[in-house]
Amino acid sequence: MYKLFLLADDDHDDAELFGEALESIDASVSFHHVENGQAVFAFLNTLGTKPDIIFLDLNMPAMNGWQCLAKLKNDVYLKDIPVIMYSTSSNPRDKEIALELGAHGFITKPSDFKLLKQMLHDITDNQGADLKTILERIRTYTATFSTYIRKLITPTFTLPYFNSGR
């Protein structure tokens, strides 16, 4: 099981929800939050060990997620740490870029707390398994959930029939 999670995200509300979800799954997992890519490296320099996994938001001040990911993957000591891009973006191109830069995956931040917990549970519960396979499974059920929610909130109605012969 993963024991040390690092999240870089400048949105404090998102970070707080992430930490609460993680703690509710496994209180023994150590969670650290920093606000940007520069703070990732400052934190790693004070840490006596490497985190088991890093989650990076894309849009952060000082050093964004892309810059941080590139720097992590170009560092001989840090390049083996699994990195998951964690963003509100659902742009397929962002996922492609993340994988090209060496991320293990890309997760669009869920709007549902239960879904966030399920995602983190799947990640923490499958250490040793292929992380990319787990992330693909997460992508599948989050897409299914999003489709379900869209159907719930999209009104369905039929237009009245108008006789075109008048």
Of 10-19, 130-139, 142-151, the least confident: 142-151
What residues have CB less than 8 Å from 97, skipping those under 6 apart?
A: 66
Q: Could you give the maximum distance between any two Cα atoms of the chain, in Å?
A: 82
Q: What is the pLDDT of residues 44-64, one digit of tens each?
A: 999 888 998 899 999 999 999
Count the Cβ atoms, other than its own, within 10 Å of residue 135: 20
Q: What is the pLDDT of residues 95-128, one digit of tens each?
A: 889 989 999 888 889 888 988 888 888 888 766 5
Question: What domains can be seen in the chain, in order of their start residue?
Answer: 4-153 (3.40.50.2300)
DSSP code, position 84: E
Cβ proximity of 22 and 3 under 8 Å: no
Looking only at the bridges linking them, the beta strands covering 105-108 and 30-34 are unpaired
Of 74-83, 91-100, 153-162, the least confident: 153-162
Count the Cβ atoms, other than its own, within 10 Å of residue 141: 13
**Average pLDDT, whole number, for the chain?**
82
